Chains A and B, each alone.
Chain A
Amino acid sequence: MVSVINTVDTSHEDMIHDAQMDYYGTRLATCSSDRSVKIFDVRNGGQILIADLRGHEGPVWQVAWAHPMYGNILASCSYDRKVIIWKEENGTWEKTHEHSGHDSSVNSVCWAPHDYGLILACGSSDGAISLLTYTGEGQWEVKKINNAHAIGCNAVSWAPAVVPGSLIDQPSGQKPSYIKKFASGGCDNLIRLWKEEEDGQWKEEQKLEAHSDWVRDVAWAPSIGLPTSTIASCSQDGRVFIWTCDDASGNTWSPKLLHKFSDVVWHVSWSITANILAVSGGDNKVTLWKESVDGQWVCISDVNKGQGSVSASVAEGQQNEQ
């Protein structure tokens, strides 16, 4: 089902911690322990290095592309406690903003849905989550949620933009009042859901408890035609959960164990139509999961990194405890 089309020679001098494709799927940003962020043009299976961004003073953990309506903007976060926002101007990438409001390694960055404007959520090992909002003219406003996760926050993921009620009810000319929400996962083994109150303050809305070790990644599924909210989470404990919330109030979340892997699960990533979940684990494999008609999650394919070949391992899916 899956085959390698491209092996990117990144020339990173150390481990790569994140690779993100941009909105149009034409560019790939990678970041590494070697403190650099690189951007490749991967159109048509190519791999042209566009930019090598230096500015961090520690391993760079994660990168995130902003929506192209704001220009070509990339955020990166690092062990050096900094978040750097890079922007392409006239073909050259430059640092446009540096946020150093954290006391420890910043582990995760995620841009809010473009409907909200340019908002970046950053989760750090100091336990705090900061929200950077672009207010125009190079200014960024910072809001901070302190003690969001004891010991540290490992991942942040925004909920897709959903408007309460119809757009039509909105008085014309006025911006629709979105309910901004995001999920975070941390070293307290919890997933927490945050919601912006009317006064602009962020409040914890929910605490999702199922993992027995650090939560490594959370991914809020894109809502493409979906009536429900879905979040995937993975953890050091090897388990991947799919959380769904059906009711309108958004308060009842039920977990469903996708699979228990034998090793740490580092990443979960939704396909853009949210019907396939890619999971990468410490066993160095990527598995693809799809919900079957009866609501079970089935492994439709696994990608063995070492080989790049693929064996459809439905058997693995059947081991699915549920």
Chain B
Amino acid sequence: MEKMSRVTTALGGSVLTGRTMHCHLDAPANAISVCRDAAQVVVAGRSIFKIYAIEEEQFVEKLNLRVGRKPSLNLSCADVVWHQMDENLLATAATNGVVVTWNLGRPSRNKQDQLFTEHKRTVNKVCFHPTEAHVLLSGSQDGFMKCFDLRRKDSVSTFSGQSESVRDVQFSIRDYFTFASTFENGNVQLWDIRRPDRCERMFTAHNGPVFCCDWHPEDRGWLATGGRDKMVKVWDMTTHRAKEMHCVQTIASVARVKWRPECRHHLATCSMMVDHNIYVWDVRRPFVPAAMFEEHRDVTTGIAWRHPHDPSFLLSGSKDSSLCQHLFRDASQPVERANPEGLCYGLFGDLAFAAKESLVAAESGRKPYAGDRRHPIFFKRKLDPAEPFAGLASSALSVFEMEPGGGSMGWFVDTAERYALAGRPLAELCDHNAKVARELGRNQVAQTWTMLRIIYCSPGLVPSANLNHSMGKGSACGLPLMNSFNLKDMTPGLGSETRLDRSKGDTRSDTVLLDSSATLVTNEDNEETEGSDVPADYLLGDVEGEEDELYLLDPDHTHPEEPECVLPQEAFPLRHEIVDTPPGPEHLQDKADSPHVSGSEADTISLAPMDSSFSLLSVSHALYDSRLPPDFFSVLVRDMLHFYAEQGDVQMAVSVLIVLGDRVRKDIDEQTQEHWYTSYIDLLQRFRLWNVSNEVVKLSTSRAVSCLNQASTTLHVNCSHCKRPMSSRGWVCDRCHRCASMCAVCHHVVKGLFVWCQGCSHGGHLQHIMKWLEGSSHCPAGCGHLCEYS
């Protein structure tokens, strides 16, 4: 009586206390069942049948029902169930087909009450009627279900499923006469207990055996079934045809399913194969378990919620011979662990961002939605407004684009495509590139190009010996070298006054360069000093026109700042400045970073030498010649390249490296250069700028880089004799030891362009084969194959 009162208190107050705990059993458990007082649990297995009291800190063994000297097979339990009205009444299903009832009220040690030996094979499940004290139902491997009245010695009625073995039987909680049974062939049957002749309804619920089912404790007509097909399905049985409401996909076959008390959409599942964990699912969110209990080391065989109105305690028994109490709050929650956001920086600086929508909804709820067209129209899963819940989640995925300057890579592509890296005099390359950069709004870069041009293309850089040499050569036609410098380098750089004279200068240069053969020599010298790899005739033929074009374009660019005016003049004060202060690249770049500062500075500076621009040529010549060694700026340029590279603009670093060529190459260590090259080439290839990438590879001076083109080219050929793929390197076939690259037309070994037919493996010189196939459609080797050349 004392025990009773304690239990009543617990029930009345509906307060259960306890913690996550487990206790070791002597043997693996097959099933567990909880007493209605929620304070005791019975564990049954092949060689265990015990009652444990659930105390706050531990399980305490109360009673061992396995008594008698010789363990009978009747005690080998497949299932156990504790009556939910009578605390003294239990029933077990034995593996030998016997259904046993137990009366704990019996005074003797052996509590066994009744024995029903009507099933032929293992009884898989026993079930008490929820409200009728004496009615017990069993389902067996032999395909029959039997209903027993405990007041009688044998079964009241037998139900034949007319199909395979019965895996589970469950009385409906709401409908007095109804029970459901599940079968190994995937069927679920609904029976009226008064009509044993045929089932009320039958439908195929799963693909493969249906191991378990459970009626919803509140929703009349909701039946959850679990099968070997790893699914849990929730059926609405009230409609004419059983309607599938939800489908949960678990990782392993579902052996047990139990609705969670007080949580309408939750159910717990466990598997008897592979997976040791117990999962609690929200059926509306069928992909991620709401909670997971990972205590067991072997498969879980029995689960039971401790109290029909308490959602937080779950009991479980396992093959690992342990009994556990799980607290819901201690469960690991994969949903919580799951990353609710996806983020990716795209190639073009765009961002792909996926976020949980419930978060989004909350967010936009706070701020009024402006209805701006730019705002994302989020993908929404159609929700039933009658059923709002927080558990379900969907995500919105949007792609964001950077606006110019904000990290978008549009400029990269433009720049890469438009930059000129070689094939023209340095000054032009610099000018061109500066123009490109300016047009793309990258003023700092444009400035840099202009400065580079000034640093490396001004007359002062020409070593005096070289000058004299040129002079000597040039004197033949009496044309001073100065003129060519003037025309080539200074014209676009000089002030507006100079520009007025430009047309005259241009025509002069044209005539000079084209008419006088001696100028060619001068020009060549220029080429040398500028370190460009192009042959002089190329320059003459090709560049001349470009040069003009470039000059002609200039007046069109009426920038308010007149960069053509500003820049060369800025160069002078800058030099003085550097002479005075230690040349810090950061210092330099700081200013460049903020265009306002540098701009205004440039403006003020530009005022001073404006007037002297007429005398610029002579003055600067003298200045450079005497004062500034060519290597003066190399440290600065090196640091600048490093700066750009660090800023992520490896494009600039490489472009400058290529354009300046030997002028800076020696100052930067090989490895860094190589790294820049490879980084840049990698980027170019990502942007699919194959041509640019190829050009960069070609122009690179680093051996490791320039061999990239060869290294990445693979040619697959078959031996023309034995027609098997050539595996080894070289042109000698492994198998027939003959040279495979013979031309089928001229019978010589092909060096250079080789073409071969993939049908017959014959091939040869591209020209020969093309010619041959113009006249004939058959293989030149005479193999009779109809080769096709496309």
Of the 9-residue stretches B119-127, B338-346, B455-463, B740-748, which lies at the interface with chain A? B338-346
A275 to B647, Cβ gap below 8 A?
Answer: yes
User: Considering the chains assembled together, what is the distance between the CA atoms of A25 and B686 in angstroms?
Assistant: 8
User: Considering the chains assembled together, what is the distance between the CA atoms of A88 and B187 in angstroms?
Assistant: 39
A136 at the interface (CB under 8 A from B): no
Some 14 contacts from A to B, beta carbons below 8 A apart, are A7-B398, A8-B352, A16-B395, A20-B342, A25-B686, A61-B338, A81-B251, A168-B702, A225-B649, A267-B342, A269-B343, A271-B349, A276-B349, A305-B353
Please, which residues of chain A bring their CB within 8 A of the CB of B590? 293
B613 at the interface (CB under 8 A from A): no
Of the 9-residue stretches A202-210, A254-262, A296-304, A314-322, which lies at the interface with chain B? A296-304
Q: Other CB < 8 Å A-B pairs besides A6-B398, A225-B676, A274-B648, 13 of them? A: A7-B378, A8-B399, A13-B394, A14-B392, A25-B347, A33-B393, A168-B702, A216-B339, A225-B679, A227-B645, A280-B355, A286-B353, A307-B370
Contact A16:B703 (CB < 8 A) given known A35-B287, A168-B670 = no
A18 to B360, Cβ gap below 8 A?
Answer: no
Contact A225:B644 (CB < 8 A) given known A6-B399, A13-B394, A25-B347 = yes
Please, which residues of chain B bring their CB within 8 A of the CB of A226? 645-646, 648
User: Considering the chains assembled together, what is the distance between the CA atoms of A291 and B356 in angstroms?
Assistant: 29
User: Considering the chains assembled together, what is the distance between the CA atoms of A215 and B670 in angstroms?
Assistant: 38
B409 at the interface (CB under 8 A from A): yes
Please, which residues of chain B bring their CB within 8 A of the CB of A137? none
Chain A positions 54 through 94: 1 when the CB is less than 8 Å from some CB of chain B, otherwise 0: 00011101100000000000000001110000000000000
A16 to B397, Cβ gap below 8 A?
Answer: yes
Contact A284:B407 (CB < 8 A) given known A14-B394, A20-B344, A25-B347 = no
B334 at the interface (CB under 8 A from A): yes
B528 at the interface (CB under 8 A from A): no
User: Considering the chains assembled together, what is the distance between the CA atoms of A22 and B356 in angstroms?
Assistant: 22
Chain B positions 244 through 260: 1 when the CB is less than 8 Å from some CB of chain A, otherwise 0: 00000101000000000
User: Considering the chains assembled together, what is the distance between the CA atoms of A79 and B335 in angstroms?
Assistant: 11
B376 at the interface (CB under 8 A from A): yes
Q: Indicate which residue in A4, A6, A57 contacts B249 across the interface (CB closer than 8 Å).
A: A57
Q: Looking at the assembled complex, report how far the CB atom of B192 sits from the nearest CB atom of chain A, in whole angstroms.
A: 38
Contact A307:B645 (CB < 8 A) given known A10-B379, A15-B393 = no
Q: Indicate which residue in A81, A272, A306 contacts B683 across the interface (CB closer than 8 Å).
A: A272
User: Considering the chains assembled together, what is the distance between the CA atoms of A273 and B355 in angstroms?
Assistant: 25
Please, which residues of chain B bring their CB within 8 A of the CB of A30? 342, 354, 397
Q: Indicate which residue in A16, A276, A280, A307 contacts B367 across the interface (CB closer than 8 Å).
A: A307
Contact A286:B360 (CB < 8 A) given known A10-B395, A272-B683 = no
Q: Indicate which residue in A17, A28, A168, A268 contacts B352 across the interface (CB closer than 8 Å).
A: A28
User: Considering the chains assembled together, what is the distance between the CA atoms of A98 and B78 in angstroms?
Assistant: 37
A3 at the interface (CB under 8 A from B): yes
User: Considering the chains assembled together, what is the distance between the CA atoms of A166 and B676 in angstroms?
Assistant: 13
Nearest to B590 among chain A residues (CB) is: A293
A134 at the interface (CB under 8 A from B): no
Q: Indicate which residue in A5, A20, A275, A284 contacts B363 across the interface (CB closer than 8 Å).
A: A284
A309 at the interface (CB under 8 A from B): yes
A288 at the interface (CB under 8 A from B): yes
Nearest to B334 among chain A residues (CB) is: A79
Please, which residues of chain A bring their CB within 8 A of the CB of B593? 293
B679 to A223, Cβ gap below 8 A?
Answer: yes
User: Considering the chains assembled together, what is the distance between the CA atoms of A226 and B645 in angstroms?
Assistant: 6
Chain A positions 82 through 125: 1 when the CB is less than 8 Å from some CB of chain B, otherwise 0: 00000000000000000000000100000000000000000000
CB contact list, B368-412 vs A, under 8 A: 369-370, 372, 374-379, 381, 392-403, 405-407, 409
CB contact list, A210-262 vs B, under 8 A: 216, 223-227
CB contact list, B661-681 vs A, under 8 A: 670-672, 674-676, 679
Please, which residues of chain A bring their CB within 8 A of the CB of B342? 16-20, 30-31, 267
Q: Looking at the assembled complex, report how far the CB atom of A154 sits from the nearest CB atom of chain B, in whole angstroms.
A: 8
A199 at the interface (CB under 8 A from B): no
Q: Looking at the assembled complex, report how far the CB atom of B676 sits from the nearest CB atom of chain A, in whole angstroms.
A: 6
B403 to A3, Cβ gap below 8 A?
Answer: yes
B586 at the interface (CB under 8 A from A): yes
B488 at the interface (CB under 8 A from A): no
* Chain A residues within 8 Å of chain B by Cβ, number: 80
Please, which residues of chain A bring their CB within 8 A of the CB of B400? 2-5, 286, 303, 308
Chain B positions 587 through 603: 1 when the CB is less than 8 Å from some CB of chain A, otherwise 0: 00110010000000000
Q: Looking at the assembled complex, report how far the CB atom of A111 sits from the nearest CB atom of chain B, in whole angstroms.
A: 14
Pick the most buried of A31, A45, A167, A300: most chain B CB atoms within 10 A of its CB: A167
A284 to B338, Cβ gap below 8 A?
Answer: no
CB contact list, A23-64 vs B, under 8 A: 23-25, 28, 30-35, 42, 45, 57-59, 61-62
User: Considering the chains assembled together, what is the distance between the CA atoms of A42 and B398 in angstroms?
Assistant: 11
A144 at the interface (CB under 8 A from B): no
Please, which residues of chain A bring their CB within 8 A of the CB of B361? 306
Pick the most buried of A9, A80, A227, A308: most chain B CB atoms within 10 A of its CB: A308
User: Considering the chains assembled together, what is the distance between the CA atoms of A18 and B372 in angstroms?
Assistant: 27
A269 to B648, Cβ gap below 8 A?
Answer: no
Contact A14:B406 (CB < 8 A) given known A225-B644, A225-B679 = no
Please, which residues of chain A bring their CB within 8 A of the CB of B355? 280, 284, 305
Contact A266:B343 (CB < 8 A) given known A2-B401, A7-B396, A35-B249 = yes
B704 at the interface (CB under 8 A from A): yes
B406 to A227, Cβ gap below 8 A?
Answer: no
B642 to A7, Cβ gap below 8 A?
Answer: no
Nearest to B399 among chain A residues (CB) is: A6
B401 to A309, Cβ gap below 8 A?
Answer: no
B287 to A13, Cβ gap below 8 A?
Answer: yes
User: Considering the chains assembled together, what is the distance between the CA atoms of A45 and B285 in angstroms?
Assistant: 31
B285 to A303, Cβ gap below 8 A?
Answer: no
Nearest to B647 among chain A residues (CB) is: A275
Pick the most buried of A2, A13, A35: most chain B CB atoms within 10 A of its CB: A2
Please, which residues of chain B bring their CB within 8 A of the CB of A162? 675
Contact A33:B367 (CB < 8 A) given known A1-B406, A305-B396 = no
